[in-house]
Amino acid sequence: MAEYEAMDPWLIGVPAGIAMGLAGVTAYGAVHPRAQLFGHTITATDRARTLALTFDDGPNPAITPKLLDLLDRHKAKATFFVVGKYVRQSPGLAKEVLARGHTLGNHTETHPNLFFCGPEETRTELLRCNEAIGQATWEEPRWFRPPFGFRSPWLVHIALGLRMRTVMWTLIPGDWRPKPAEWLIERMNPIGEHAKALKERGRGPDAAPQGDILCLHDGDYARPNADRERTLKALEHWLPRWRDAGLEFVTIGQSLGKAVEG
């Protein structure tokens, strides 16, 4: 029992079998990207032929400008979930993201695991990131993504209190891993397979009602100027192929059936 008490004070005094079950439910609600146990989150787009490209952990002077140029070449709009401390270091780059027609979202001030943060610390992390974005761009973010995808029972409520909706994903291919670009390209193949299936099924009653949210990274929360060249190379491969497959690249606001940025 001591093991569960150390992990979660809610479980103190609960019989071991029930405690294990509750721990499993809690872990599912905290980690699984589609779990709604701790509050409603956005896990897919509202239209089947749309793809919401999202990038975490920036802005990153070593990669974000190259990524913006790549997105421009393919007329693709995206959502950037930025870390407050890096926005403070590169406010001009945060402004450039907006100027290119993309959306900025909140990814906390320092990128902690919020499952282990209390309500006050959680709110401070979100609020400080909002302040950094506001100081750099005069814009208030409407979208939030939790670091590592981990949520606590109070997180979504706190985000809503700051006028932000929480965004997860349908695919996170692991582009932070030190693997070759070819490995990452293969890991991103489910997006193409989904698009192909949509084309084959057409617009009939069996057509999927939702599209994908892809979680990639233009930065590294642990260090500035991180190397994310493999992400750029994988996108250089996939962006024209996804476009040819009939996908429309949208921001999170656009992904909800109509523009909902403000």
Q: Which amino acid makes up residue 102?
A: H
Residue 16's CB is within 10 A of a number of other CB atoms, namely 11
User: 136: helix, coil or strand?
Assistant: helix
Reading the block at residue 32, the tokens are 């699984």
Q: Which of 102, 107, 194, 217 does the annotation list as catalytic? A: 217
Closest to 229 (Cα-Cα) out of 89, 74, 67, 80: 67
Reading the block at residue 161, the tokens are 């209190």
Owner of token pair 């709110």:
123
Q: Are 167 and 50 in contact (CB under 8 A)?
A: no
Residue 7 CA to its chain's centroid (Å): 26
Report the half-sphere exposure of 188 (CA within 13 A, side-chain side).
Answer: 25
Q: Are 137 and 99 in contact (CB under 8 A)?
A: no
Residue 93's CB is within 10 A of a number of other CB atoms, namely 20
Q: Is 217 a catalytic residue?
A: yes
Closest to 122 (Cα-Cα) out of 135, 131, 113: 113
Q: Which of 56, 175, 212, 220 does the annotation list as catalytic? A: 56
Q: Is 56 a catalytic residue?
A: yes
Residues counted in the chain: 262
Report the half-sphere exposure of 205 (CA within 13 A, side-chain side).
Answer: 0
Q: Are 152 and 117 in contact (CB under 8 A)?
A: yes
Q: Can you tell me the distance from the alpha carbon of 67 to that of 71, in angstroms, rounded to the nearest whole number?
A: 6
Instruction: Give the residue numbers marked as catalytic.
Output: 56, 217
